[in-house]
Chains A and B, each alone.
Chain A
Amino acid sequence: MTAIILPRLIVPTSPLIPVAGAEELFGWLDKHDRIKLGNLLRMPLSERIQVLQMSGSLANYSSKALQDLLWGKTAYAGETTIYAGLWAAALDDTFNGATASESAYTSYARHAMTNNTTNFAAGSGTTTYTKTFPSDALHSFAASTGTGTNNTITYAGFLNGNAGSSADKGLAWCSVTSTTINSGDTPQLAQNAFTVVQD
């Protein structure tokens, strides 16, 4: 007999950053892709920002904590545990533990990760510093035992708490490839699937 696990990798989607320099790539693209990229370049700035927001970002809470530490030496001790959550609707920088449409497939629970250098190892790079996580291995949520609600995952968020209320502050978020969690599926975060870039 062979045991079959039904993993469902939560796959972050790449940032999409339309810039004028992308025209240099036109020679390599077919007509369809040229039109799509051209439309992105001609978008009004506000809409282009919306496109950028689809990729992911640090959230308001973590941005403030890091800025205040850097400028003014207001201490930020860091979080003890970081919780990964799954959402079936768009997140933005304001998200927190009470943001609607968090997944509720049967047996869903936020995935707890101790905030240390095992799970979040040092990054690499100088001009662009990149951290990827989870550093140690693939991480699994609890397997689904029923469809429940909000089981089509489109966004992932990382929080500093698990109260299920606005007391849980959002740290970072990103869109992911739409993934439906059916009964028997185990959502998983592949090793180093998530990337945070600081230039």
Chain B
Amino acid sequence: MTQLYEGRLYSKDGNLYADQRKRVGDKTWVVRGWLGFARKDDNGDKLTVTVPIFKDGPHHGREVKHVPGTGYVFVGKGDSSHHEDHHKRFVVIDYTTPEDPHHFAAVPGDRHFDSAEPGNTKLKADPDSIAAVITGHTAAYKDSAAPRLSQGPPKMASGHPEGAHYPVRKLPEIEPASPPPAPISDTKQPNE
């Protein structure tokens, strides 16, 4: 049976608890001496200590949670906490794993169902075989007319100080469309 709670609350670790602690007064006493040895004479070494005295109500410290539309209720044995409810309420679906059971595990009758595999799902793709086929660099190298390594390094471009590993194509010279802008004569900047 749900039991409502109306009163002060405190939070800890994201959860709520009933706070029925009341301050009922202070207790003051005078300590004399040091290191636990009481002194009979008062030579100024006294220390006045005042400590507040609290009294707890019957529900103090019991876990509480807020239920929208109902209010604050005590958390019973086996009930989820306020923090756990928050997690449930604000769970969102990661779009890489849509909420379709077929995407979490194959079910009997599926084309990929295999009870011997983890998740009852056959391996749908072999990354190594995909890489072997799709890797464009390997295929391009194999199919190109580029010299094989066994034929030695490619020829260096002539005229380049350090040479080049690839043929050099001379670009047409580009005439400047207009002369470069004249330097600004007034070097004083605004706001200076």
> Complex formed: what's the CA distance from A106 to B69 in Å?
11
- Chain B: interface residue count, which band? 35 or more
Instruction: Report if A109-B49 is in contact (Cβ < 8 Å); known contacts: A1-B91, A3-B87, A184-B86.
Output: no
Instruction: Report if A1-B97 is in contact (Cβ < 8 Å); known contacts: A77-B50, A162-B8.
Output: yes
Which partner residue on chain A sits nearest B71 by CB separation? Answer: A106
Interface of A is mostly: loop
The reply to whether A162 and B90 contact each other, CB–CB distance below 8 Å, is no
Return the contact of A164 from the options B8, B15, B23, B49 (Cβ within 8 A). B8
Contacts of B90 in A (CB 8 A): 3-6, 184
Q: Is B55 an interface residue (CB 8 A)?
A: no
Which partner residue on chain A sits nearest B72 by CB separation? Answer: A107
Contacts of A141 in B (CB 8 A): 11, 14
Chain B, 7-41, CB within 8 A of any chain A CB = 8-17, 19, 21-23, 31
Binary interface encoding of chain A residues 100-130 relative to chain B, with 1 for a CB under 8 A from any of its CBs, else 0: 0000001101111000000000000000000
> Complex formed: what's the CA distance from A164 to B47 in Å?
31
> Complex formed: what's the CA distance from A2 to B10 in Å?
29
Contacts of B133 in A (CB 8 A): none
Q: Is A157 an interface residue (CB 8 A)?
A: no
The minimal Cβ–Cβ distance linking A118 to chain B, given in whole angstroms, is 13
> Inter-chain contact count A-B, CB under 8 Å?
92
Q: Is B51 an interface residue (CB 8 A)?
A: yes
Most central of A4, A109, A145, A186 by chain B CB within 10 Å: A109
Contacts of A77 in B (CB 8 A): 49-51
The reply to whether A143 and B83 contact each other, CB–CB distance below 8 Å, is yes
Contacts of B31 in A (CB 8 A): 75
Chain A, 163-185, CB within 8 A of any chain B CB = 163-164, 167, 184
Binary interface encoding of chain A residues 63-105 relative to chain B, with 1 for a CB under 8 A from any of its CBs, else 0: 0000000000111010000010000000000000000000000
Chain B, 68-101, CB within 8 A of any chain A CB = 68, 82-83, 86-87, 89-94, 97, 99
> Complex formed: what's the CA distance from A184 to B47 in Å?
50
The reply to whether A162 and B10 contact each other, CB–CB distance below 8 Å, is yes
User: 12 other contacts beyond A107-B16, A142-B11, A161-B23, with CB at 8 A cut-off?
Assistant: A1-B93, A2-B92, A5-B90, A74-B48, A109-B17, A111-B11, A140-B13, A142-B9, A143-B83, A163-B8, A184-B90, A186-B14
What are 23 A-B interface contacts by the 8 Å CB criterion?
A1-B94, A2-B91, A2-B92, A3-B92, A5-B86, A6-B90, A31-B191, A75-B48, A106-B66, A110-B10, A111-B12, A112-B11, A112-B12, A140-B11, A140-B14, A141-B11, A142-B66, A143-B82, A143-B86, A162-B10, A163-B8, A184-B89, A184-B90
